[in-house]
Chains A and B, each alone.
Chain A
Amino acid sequence: MSARPQPLVVGAGPAGIRAAEALVAGGLRPLVVDEAPACGGQIYRQRLVDDGRSTKDLYGSEAGKAERLHAAFGALEGKIDYRPQALLWNLRDGVADIVVAGATRRVAYDGLVLATGATDRVLPVPGWTLPGVFTLGGSQVALKAQGCAIGSCVVFAGSGPLLYLVAWQYMKAGVEVAAVLDAAPAIAKLNLLRALPLDPGIVLRGTRFVAELRLRGVAIRTGIEDLRFEGEGRVSGVAWREGSRELRLDCDGVGYGLALRSETQLADLAGCDFRFDQRDRAWLPVRDTAGRASVPGVYLAGDGAGIAGADAAECAGERAALALLEDRGLAFDKVRAAKLEAALARIGRLRDALEAAFPFPAHWAAGIDNATTLCRCEEITAGTVREAASRFDIGEINRLKAVSRIGMGRCQGRMCAAASAEVLADATGKPIEVVGRLRAQAPVKPIPLALQLTAEPAELPEAAE
């Protein structure tokens, strides 16, 4: 065992699990830090207690993958240091600050695998802050992890593969699904034909979801515009437009999302270079095909480095770990590494087709009403942001933040950064990549102020419990 500090893996979803596994196989003992109480990430999230449902009930066609990942992580017990319910809130130069059980500790690491995952991407629409409106991912968490439905008569709106999956899962759970409202025009789905040879399983599964939803009488509308959620104190209906037709439905719950956005804050704090990715329409940390970031010793894997899904996350997590082993002068399986990169390239082509089938409705940003809340935390309207940009002649997102407080709230722009960049780009007539990206700040999520005053910093984690 070398005297160098241990590698640090952030996140215990599909990417983090496979990374930790490969590091252990390579002879290292990583520290794995994860916010959740149990491994699995969001997609393979585990319940707090057994509720009588089988893994098949919970994860559907992906039950086998979920079981294998949970088992693989379980098998690492004693070979890794694992900190669940732990928030890594600051990072720099081989040192991380981690809050565990109410105390913050400082940990030195040598080699960092960031497998931070993703959350829903949203654009504000009227009523999106009403109680009863959740993200698509949030709707899924409620059902899968908590066994709770977000309502008795539910509408799912937005875009992306998750839209149909969550609607289908709710229908299967016996919840009335009033409608699926897809921002993408029907013709965009022809792109799925390109995806078919790359992954027939995923395309056929999606087709089956749509067919079964229709069979149960669920209205599926495509190319919807002017989406808004209505209600006094809680959501009671959804309205939208199709061409010149105005439509409306009663409902008591809404799941809304426009595909996913990567959690890149820690990569930013680690000093990684970013580039604008046209397909994801987002700033992403630069990485090579193995997952190496621009900063030596930093590796990126999974949806946190660019949206590619859970299968890709498993491959990328393992590949990144192999790169870490190689860079540390340890033995690694070159053939395996090449195989993983080939699989990732294939999934990349699949993502190209899926993104074209579920295009992000960027043009919605121009239509966001001035009265609509853009920033949920600081309650800043789209009108305020447009006025600030115009009055101070601002064309860059961090300057906009300084004068308008957009992205300065508790969520640090997780919910509003994509939208405020789109609004700023539209208001200034600039391409989206020109307005830049919000810089991340520590702490990346709220921590109690008292922590920093009372906790004794520890240099190294204790041995595994």
Chain B
Amino acid sequence: MSQDRISQDRLPLLRRITRKGHAVVAFTLDGAPCEGRAGDTLLSAILNSSDSLRRTEFTGEPRAGFCQMGACQDCWVMTEAGERLRACTTPLQPGMCIVTMMGKAA
């Protein structure tokens, strides 16, 4: 089954309450330009732009992290260069190119 990126017409998962006016930190998500804010973790930045951050290896179901404190290991994403990052404990850096595989067939 192929599925378009599910977040196109859906609201992001997280809702920003503070730091709305903080400096924009530009990054890309599956090639699309996105904006985080200074002080974001990679997880916050992705989930303020999208409603999931990866598909699981076996069933392809969407995931968006769980514990947000580096324990559950459910928010590993990959950079375009192939580096693996745990999104909840990685500070967002300008120019990060994140590949979520969300567009891939399940």
Contact = CB atoms under 8 A, between A and B. Distances in A.
B27 interface: no
B15 A148 contact: yes
Contacts of A51: 18-19, 22, 39
B39 A234 contact: no
Contacts, number: 142
A51, A132, A411: residue with the most chain B Cβ atoms closer than 10 Å: A51
B52 A234 contact: yes
A121 to B, nearest CB: 11
A148 B12 CA distance: 11
Nearest to A410: B73
Contacts of A36: 89
Contact of B61 (A129, A150, A175): A129
B97 interface: no
A142 B67 CA distance: 10
Interface string B40-63: 110010011001100011110111
Interface in A223-254: 233-234, 252-253
Nearest to B19: A51
A119 B69 contact: yes
Contacts of A147: 16-19, 39
A233 B52 contact: yes
- The contact size tier of chain A is 35 or more
- The contact size tier of chain B is 35 or more
Interface in B1-34: 6, 10-11, 13-19, 22
B67 A134 contact: yes
A211 B51 CA distance: 33
Interface string B69-89: 111111010000000101011
Contact of B62 (A52, A120, A131, A142): A131
A151 B73 CA distance: 21
B56 A379 contact: yes
21 contacts: A48-B40, A49-B22, A49-B38, A51-B18, A52-B19, A119-B69, A131-B51, A134-B68, A137-B68, A138-B69, A141-B68, A142-B14, A147-B16, A147-B39, A149-B17, A175-B17, A234-B62, A414-B73, A415-B66, A445-B73, A446-B86
Top 4 closest pairs, chain A to chain B, by CB? A147-B18, A131-B64, A49-B39, A138-B68
